[in-house]
Every structure is written in C-alpha cells, then in structure tokens.
Amino acid sequence: MTGPAEVRCMLMRGGTSRGAYFLADDLPADTAARDDLLLRVMGSPDPRQIDGIGGAHPLTSKVAVVSVSDDPEVDVDYLFLQVAVDRPEVSDRQNCGNLLAGVGPFAVERGLVAPGDGETSVRIRMLNTGEPAVATFPTPGGRVDYTGDAEISGVPGSAAPVGIRFPQGSRPLLPTGNVRDTVAGTSVTCVDNGMPTVLIPASAVQVTGYEEPEDLEKDRALAGRLREIRLTAGRLMGLGDVDSTTVPKLSLLAPPRHGGAVTTRTFIPVRCHTSIGVLGAASVAAGLRLPGGVGEGIARPPARSDRMRIEHPTGFLDIDTRVDPGSDGSPPAARRTAVVRTARKLFDGTVFPRSAAPAAARPLGGNDGPAPR
C-alpha cells in the first residue's frame, strides 16, 4: 500500500499521554490506507518502535485526528486511534481523554477554531463514542499559551490548565444492567462513564493493589486471572469478543493511602497504566458512587462533594462526577463529569513515514516474543 511520503503532524503531550495530532484532511480518506500510514509513522509493529515516532508504550503510541465538525452543536470532531506497539493494528474501539486535552489547542493552532482573547472554549465531538466534551484553555492575545501553574501527577513541572467538561453521556452507565456481576468467580462492577471499565477488588485477585505497575505486569498468574475476567466481562458488557481489543479496561481497587477516595491499578488492558486514564478515572469515580458496587467497603468517596481523588501509581487524579443512582426503574446516570488536565505542543512539522515496502510491515526479529499490550 502506498501513501504520502510526508505528512504534516504535531506531536503533543495530552495529559499523561503523548501522541501525534493530524488534521483529517492531511491523512488518506481510505481507512486501510490511513491505518497503514499511521503504523509506518509510529514505527509499528516493533516493540521499540525504533523506526517511527511512537514511544514503545501504549500511552505514547496514540493518534488524534481532528477536523471541523459538520455538527452545528460542536466545533471540531476528534477521532482517537490507538496504534498497537508490537502488532500491525490501529484501533478506533476506544476513546482517550488524555489526548483529548490537546485537541482544543491543536484546533486553534491549525486555525480550525478562532481563539478568544484570554480564554477559548472548544466544543468537541468525540467520534469514537459520539459523545461531546468542552475544553477550555488560556489564549492570551489570541494565542495558545501552554505555560501555567497547573500540575498533574505523572507529568513533571507545571503547565496551563485545560479544563474538560463532559455532559451526561448517552450510553448506559451500567452496561450489564447490574451494579455487581459475578464474573469468572469474582464479584465486579462493570461501568462505562466514557470508558468501559471493570472494577475489581485487588484482594479478589490476590494482590494488594499497591504494587508497582512493572511488578504487576510480571505476575503471570494475575495476567491469566485478569484475562479470564475481562473476556467474560467484555461479553456481558455487550462488547463481544474482547480478546484483541483495548476495552474494557480493568481497575483494581484498594483502600486509599494518601487521603484520596481509592487506590487504583489500571490495566489497559495488558500493560498496567503508570497513572490512570481520564475517562478510566471518570468510570471508576462513577462506579464508586453507585450503592452496592464492589467499591463499597474499599473506597471512601466523599459524601458532600462531587470531587473525588483517585490515587494511582504516580500520584492522584482529581475528578468531579455527579451521579444519579436511579430510581423507579430509571437506570443510574452520570449527570456531569469534569477534570483538569494539561497539554503541551512538543513539536510541529512534517513526519516521514517508513516506506511502504511489504517486508517493513513484518515485526522485527528477536527472541523475546511479543511485547505486552
């Protein structure tokens, strides 16, 4: 498959992730040609992504595709694409709330949205789920200013805040219809407040929930147990066979240790997240607010505030969620969710994809076997 020899691209950090941002018009319209190009841009499949701009981890092998929306209710459309590191796969099956933080600034930088003087709000349609979001960020003098004093765990230093608001979603908060399901012998809560996520007490899978991500990733027995839970939960959640998809995510829950509401270790779904995704956190927070969920007795959600501090391996993520637990036959719903992230333009220029020669599409040799997703 051939494609353009060079493409305009902006590399950005969005929250605790990093990705390549493109205008939709700069990519092939044909999905197969686009995906082939993105694999060659990122350097996949290769555990090191040495011949591309991917960072050899799912959190740094991400793509945002942005365009002016034809929906009069929103300004831009954002399609998130996860580029697998070690497999020739590009997936639109999941969304990413971290790369979302860069979409508004990118839209202003590329002239898709006129900046306000002081601050700009961009209404975004997230094409992966069809749900809307609004991002607000500083634009003094009509230019995006990435500097500021907002700090987020997992990112050194500080940067300008990007406030993100999600109105009530249209998908069921409880995709199985139950607040608790027994899956592969384990009691779990399957929840979707923007990211299908299975909440699992850490103790139910024989870990404390305070381990380092790399130690959890080495635990073969845990990996097998989580895979079993995920395959069954995925079916129950209406996601079909999830063996090769990146959703649902799995979040292990343990009591908080640093004044937050809960400690988490989140599998995305094979690698253990070094922090937690934005929409993953939104789903955990909503799940912990539901009476009868598996977080009861583990988590301590604040009773009088919408804000919840989710502890994770590199710190914490504060997220606001207002959950209506449902009554008289009406299902529970997350009425609103809001979070502050930061984003930064790292590089703007032209990316030169690896050539489209058929041999280049094969994984490089080596004796290590496939790297974890």
What DSSP element (H or E) covers 286? Answer: helix 278-288
Of 146, 127, 150, 128, give the one whose Cα is nearest residue 138. 146
Tell me the C-alpha distance between 290 and 31, whole Å. 39
Q: Which is nearer to ligand NQM, 38 or 96 (CB)?
A: 96
CB closer to ligand NQM, 159 vs 268 = 268
Closest distance of CB 167 from ligand NQM, Å: 16
Cα–Cα distances in Å, from 238 out to 11, 218, 269? 34, 30, 17
The least CB distance from residue 31 to ligand NQM, in Å, is 21
Least separation in angstroms between CB 15 and ligand NQM: 6
d(CA 259, CA 267): 23
Smallest distance from the beta carbon of 162 to ligand NQM, in angstroms?
13
Bridge partner list, 19: 12, 62
* CB nearer to ligand NQM: pick between 169 and 280: 280
Q: At what angle do helices 278-288 and 97-109 cross, to 10 degrees?
A: 130
The whole-angstrom distance between residue 360's C-alpha and the CA centroid of its chain comes to 29
Q: How far is the CB of 185 from ligand NQM (least distance, A)?
A: 25
Task: From 305, 311, 307, select the one nearest 319 (Cα to Cα).
Answer: 307
Nearer to ligand NQM, 115 or 269 (CB): 269
Q: Tell me the residue nearest to ligand NQM as measured from the CB.
A: 277
Binding site for ligand NQM (CB under 6 A): 16-17, 58-59, 96-98, 195, 246, 249, 268, 277-280
Least distance between ligand NQM and beta carbon 275 (Å)? 7
Q: Report the C-alpha gap between 317 and 277 in whole angstroms.
A: 9
Shortest distance (Å) from residue 282 CB to ligand NQM? 7
Complete DSSP assignment for 24-90:
GGGS-SSHHHHHHHHHHHHT-S-TT-TTSS--SSGGGSEEEEEEE-S-TT-SEEEEEEEE-SSSS-E
Query: Which of residues 115 and 175 has its CB atom nearest to ligand NQM in the complex?
Result: 175
Nearer to ligand NQM, 152 or 294 (CB): 152
Taking the C-alpha atoms of residue 249 and residue 231, their distance in angstroms, rounded to an integer, is 11
Smaller CB separation from ligand NQM, 161 or 280:
280
